[in-house]
Amino acid sequence: MLTRLELREPATGEVLLVSDTDGDSLWSRVIAHAVRLTGIDTVVHLGDSRGGSARLARERWADLGRRVGDAGGTIYWLAGNHCHPLSDLVPDGKDHELRKAPWKSTYLLPRTSTWTWHGRRWLAVQGAVSLDWPTREARGFSAEAEITSEEEATQIIESGVQADVLISHDAPWQPATAGTISARTNNRMGFSRTLLEASRVHSERLSRIYRAVGEPKVVAHGHMHLGGIERRDGTTVVSVGAKFGGVSIVRVDLSSLAMEAVPWSPE
């Protein structure tokens, strides 16, 4: 179900994008520092906190959420494939609701959702195929919980929504940055062919969504751990890097959709 949300307008007309923070406490402090430094009060997390267990997921999620909250920010979290069971950690929720965490200023976005900021329509699509799936399956994770299903894609496409910004955890097959295309071709990590094929199917599903919603001006995703901002025809593709990466905190002007990497240092 595509959920239509009413989200508070970011006060400065800008947001920060982060992704794949993996529960690193020092990196949480860097992000909170960026919130203080820029005065931007809204952070969108494109997924992956390295849950592991429910207890660890809660601790890692809370650490970043609390730090951003203490810095005066609100964080909206789109689930990746290494976020579960975050959805079990927020009370009284269903997948189609915006769900507030039990600490301040942290929200879990629904699996698929849309809202408007400063006149621009955003579409958020969760999940990715875990290429390290065999180790996760042994720990009891659900593959279905970690991807956007064919049914959910159809619901988005048939909704008729037209988006200016598409955010997702997984990278669409196209358009994609040169780094993403190269990583898919080289398979330096030696992932299994079966999982790579499942990943391709999921990425192509996102490409279909991209085309159906009007080829948004901005596509932003995480998951690849390869920071980069590149133009592809009429679309700016933003691959938000992982913790301590080169393009790992990205500042977006909500009216012009101009964006730039925020430089950071451990202090």
Residues that bind Fe ion (CB under 5 A): 48, 80-81, 128, 223
Q: 19 or 105, CB closer to Fe ion?
A: 19
Q: 105 near 67, Cβ under 8 Å?
A: no
Q: 69 or 241, CB closer to Fe ion?
A: 241
Q: 66 or 169, CB closer to Fe ion?
A: 169
Q: 44 or 212, CB closer to Fe ion?
A: 44
Q: 62 near 101, Cβ under 8 Å?
A: yes
In the complex, minimum distance from the CB of residue 47 to Fe ion, in angstroms, rounded to a whole number: 6
In the complex, minimum distance from the CB of residue 19 to Fe ion, in angstroms, rounded to a whole number: 8
Burial 59-91 (b: 16+ CB within 10 A, else e): ebbbbbbbbbbebebbbbbbbbbbbbbbbebbe
Q: 128 or 252, CB closer to Fe ion?
A: 128
In the complex, minimum distance from the CB of residue 80 to Fe ion, in angstroms, rounded to a whole number: 4
In the complex, minimum distance from the CB of residue 7 to Fe ion, in angstroms, rounded to a whole number: 23
In the complex, minimum distance from the CB of residue 214 to Fe ion, in angstroms, rounded to a whole number: 26
Residue with the CB atom nearest Fe ion in the bound state: 223
Q: 39 or 246, CB closer to Fe ion?
A: 246
Helix/strand/coil for 155: helix
DSSP H helices, the chain, are: 25-38, 54-70, 133-137, 150-159, 178-186, 193-212
DSSP H/E element including 16: strand 14-18
DSSP 120-131: EEEEEE-----T
In the complex, minimum distance from the CB of residue 116 to Fe ion, in angstroms, rounded to a whole number: 27
In the complex, minimum distance from the CB of residue 63 to Fe ion, in angstroms, rounded to a whole number: 19
Which of 170, 158, 163, 43 has its CA nearest to residue 114?
A: 163
Q: 31 or 71, CB closer to Fe ion?
A: 31
Residue 256, amino acid: S
Report CA-CA distances (Å) from 37 to 16, 70, 112, 147, 217: 12, 13, 31, 35, 27
